[in-house]
Amino acid sequence: MDFSTLKTLRPADFEDAADGYRASRDMASAAKDALNGRIPIAMRNALHGEAVDAAAEQLQKLSTNFHYIQVECGLMTTALTTLAGELSVAKKKLEAAIEAAEAGGCTVNPDGSVRYPAGGDEVDGKVPAGGSVNGTAAGNGSSGPIDLSGDTRDAAEALDDQAARMHPNPNYGRAQEYADRLAEAVAEATEADERWAPQLRRLKADDDLHVSHADWADTGHDRGSVGRAAEQYLQAIEPPPKDKDPASNAEWWKDLSRDEKAAYVSLHPASVGALDGLPAEVRDEANRTVLAEKRSQYELELRGTPKPPIDWKDWRAWNKKHGDRYWHLKGSLDGMANIQGRFDRTGERGLPEAYLLGFDPAANKDGRVIIANGNPDTADHTAILVPGTKTALENADDEIAKSDALWRESARLSPSESVSTLMWFDYDAPNSAKPLENGDILPEAMGDGFAARGAPNLRSFLDGNEAAHRTATGDSGHTTLIGHSYGSTLIGDTAKYTSDYAPDSWGNALPVDDVVAVGSPGMQAKRPGDLGLDPHHTWAMAGGGDDELVREGGRWVGLGGDRIIPTDPEFGANVMKSDSDSHGGFWQEEDGKASTSLSNQAKVIVGSYGEVTLEREAHW
């Protein structure tokens, strides 16, 4: 970029272009949101049978297209906004230098050189003549790159000072200073132009209507390129608090401007999606981007990985080289398909829009997923289901189905209030089984080590859920925390982990109103008070068949306090009636009718305590 180009440049043109891409991004976002929520709900109310499936498939493809447009337009908006800002700074420096030169009696030539007038003491009877000087970004006499703080700049300034002192015309030194300022402004604009031009060209998408896996996988590269080019701009945006509580995260987000929020989501979706305390809509937006990109990256990688051979000897060699990664890719893709399956079921049997509040296929050992039915930030009643052993991203569909069932029955019981149910899987669950004659045993589940390590994540999420709800509504709403199997052990360790309470000071340990232990092998406590929980709002439920083995196994290995588990009379919780005939059968529905165990959980979720059918009432 030369002097005349920068002089006539209008940074506002780039800002206008950014506004155009911003509008396209917002349009695509609104269309995608409608296709993910309002439209499928209305469609399923009007259509039935094969027509629904066909329409849902088309809506999903259209939603994917709009999502891709939103992500790419978001990156383009950030790129153009940053470029406009950098060019604006350079243009202002140029204009200031021109104004200073003219005020100092000099003239700026069309090529950016500066003409200075005659002046100074006579030499041999003549006043030293005027002339013109050219500036350089590194100082007069140097053609080195711009280096405003390093040795190049220091040496150039020294040469300039020496030349100015030796020159008989005092106007020479001032003119050289003006010329250098002009050159520095041009150099800054040139550097911005050269840095951003390839990034903007890279953001050009294929000219077709199909968003392929390669397109989605490439958005990660686009993001990295834009992020590196926009490093200076991003440094001006206050980063999230380090090692701060979710309430601080909520405050940080609230204080960002609209453009800063958009830039942060655009360039750091994985970080934003994992921040407890941020609005559910923001986390969902970020995590859906991560999901789309990871799914495409994993699909492409899996296609390039050799499939397992049939021959045993060949298989052993293949497994040593590719096995771990191959099965991780396949299992993760199965899990991602399950998440997409929940998105596609929006409106089915009344299900509300889903919110992806956490996602990472590489987290822990088995991946990470947190998904909600309805927006927990604004719900009157929120239930958080913590699954137990053998849970992994690849089999999360079973846990998502339990959350779906909880939503349907809770919404049926309280139709005038809003309900959100979440499946929270953000810990490393015990899952390494050893076969025995009469079943499997999980050595990893014979202690609370996995629960203790997962406790900080669960506490942070609970605090974030409360902070986001308070930000949105001004209160915390009614929240129920449900732990199934080893998930209840995790809840117990979470209560102990946050222990700002004394034993028997009920209700302070966790930011929830009710705790439900389903098929619990023990909560690392002898009674609710040991966990800072109110017995009146602590609930337990048992099932038949293998559920008894799980509960008694937990008692035997000491997952309870003094071998006391939540369904024992000594524990003192409300023990609800259950018709489950197995450890996983507490969420059954038949012909649209909820089982007793499912109905009782839903009654706690909506606060209809008097309607819960009990085996035994709480005591202390």
77-126 pLDDT tens trace: 988 988 998 999 999 999 999 999 999 999 999 999 999 999 878 877 78
Residue 426: pLDDT above 70? yes
- pTM of the prediction? 0.85
| Average pLDDT of the residues in 66-72 | 89
Buried/exposed code over 458-492 (b: 16+ C-beta within 10 A; e: otherwise): bbbbbbbbbbbbbbbeeebbbbbbbbbbbbbbbbb
Angle, alpha carbons 559-564-567 (nearest 5°): 105
Own/partner long-range contacts of 326-334 (Cβ < 8 Å, ≥24 apart) = 326/302, 328/361, 329/298, 329/301, 329/302, 329/305, 330/302, 330/394, 331/367, 331/392, 331/393, 331/394, 332/294, 332/298, 332/361, 332/367, 332/393, 332/394, 333/295, 333/298, 333/299, 333/302, 334/394, 334/395
Q: Please state which of the ranges 63-67, 271-275, 551-555 shows the lowest mean pLDDT.
A: 63-67
- Indicate the pairing of strand 514-518 with strand 538-541: parallel
Per-residue confidence (pLDDT) for residue 505, from 0 to 100: 47
Question: End-to-end alpha-carbon separation of the chain, Å?
Answer: 80
Confidence of residue 162 (pLDDT cuts 50, 70, 90): low
Please report, for the chain, the start and end positions of each structural domain, with discontinuous segments joined by +.
89-121+130-183, 354-616
Structure tokens at 425: 């899987």
CATH number of 354-616, picked from 3.50.50.60, 1.10.540.10, 3.40.50.1820, 3.40.190.10: 3.40.50.1820
- Indicate the pairing of strand 381-386 with strand 478-484: parallel
List, as one string, the DSSP characters of 69-106: HHHHHHHHHHHHHHHHHHHHHHHHHHHHHHHHHHHTT-
Q: How far apart are CA 348 and CA 567, in angstroms?
A: 35
Angle, alpha carbons 585-586-587 (nearest 5°): 95
**DSSP state for residue 499 in the 8-state scheme:** -
| Average pLDDT of the residues in 253-262 | 92
* Residues 557-572 pLDDT 10s: 989 888 999 999 999 9
CB distance 497 to 462 below 8 Å: no
Per-residue confidence (pLDDT) for residue 157, from 0 to 100: 59
CB distance 333 to 294 below 8 Å: no
Q: How far apart are CA 112 and CA 26, in angstroms?
A: 42
Residue 72: pLDDT above 60? yes
Backbone angles phi, psi at 371, to 5 degrees: -135, 140
Strands (E), 66-222: 107-108, 114-116, 131-133
Structure tokens at 250: 């909520």
Q: How far apart are CA 80 and CA 551, in angstroms?
A: 60
* Residues 314-354 pLDDT 10s: 999 999 999 999 999 999 999 999 999 999 999 998 999 99
* Residues 218-240 pLDDT 10s: 888 788 888 877 777 777 788 88
Q: Please state which of the ranges 62-71, 101-110, 336-345, 495-504 shows the lowest mean pLDDT.
A: 495-504
Structure tokens at 188: 């800054």
- The owner of tokens 């390839």 is 198
Of 32, 177, 25, 15, residue with least CA distance to 101: 177
Backbone angles phi, psi at 583, to 5 degrees: -70, -25
* Residues 406-415 pLDDT 10s: 999 999 999 9
Structure tokens at 287: 């995590």
SS3 436: strand
Sign of CA dihedral 358, 537, 541, 442: positive
Q: How far apart are CA 137 and CA 155, in angstroms?
A: 12
Of 173, 163, 164, residue with least CA distance to 116: 173
| Average pLDDT of the residues in 463-485 | 95
**DSSP state for residue 322 in the 8-state scheme:** I
Per-residue confidence (pLDDT) for residue 492, from 0 to 100: 95
Helices then strands (H, E): number in the chain? 19, 16
Per-residue confidence (pLDDT) for residue 525, from 0 to 100: 93
**DSSP state for residue 240 in the 8-state scheme:** P
Q: If phi over 0 gives left and psi between -120 and 50 gives alpha, with beta otherwise, what is residue 440?
A: beta
